[in-house]
Amino acid sequence: MAWFRRRPRSVGAGGRPVDQADLEHLAQFVRSRTGVEAFVEPRTTVTETTVLLVAHDGEWTRRRIESPEVARRFAHKLSLPIYDVRLLGYPQRMRDYNARQKRRPA
């Protein structure tokens, strides 16, 4: 019995193919909120490349995406500013939003 099996890597060197449902979720987030900015999160040993969208109030959503280039094309198509999270970090409004959500009664 194999304890550690290598899972097959995603398609191609850039990651998994773009999932239309994920792109639609991201587009819907942009359409339904104001002041949305995009942040590219790099691929790690644990996760694929992701794009993080943060609205003006700090509400956010994240989805896996094929590559940073695909994330940039997606953001430009929707006229969103896009940043590299490794260079800028996460916006303070996102951290504030998360803190507010933790304080909210269940």
Strand partners, 39: 52, 83
Q: What is the structure's pLDDT at 11?
A: 45
**Ramachandran category for residue 86: left, alpha or beta (phi over 0 → left; psi -120 to 50 → alpha):** alpha
Contacts of 93 (CB under 8 A, 6+ apart): 54, 56, 57, 58
Would you say 33 and 78 are in contact if contact means Cβ atoms under 8 Å apart?
no
Contacts of 105 (CB under 8 A, 6+ apart): none
**Per the confidence metrics, is the pTM higher than 0.85?**
no
Tens-level pLDDT at each residue, the chain (106 residues): 555 555 444 444 455 677 899 999 999 999 999 999 999 999 999 999 999 999 999 999 999 999 999 999 999 999 999 999 999 999 999 999 999 999 887 6
Q: What is the structure's pLDDT at 104?
A: 83
Q: What is the structure's pLDDT at 17?
A: 72
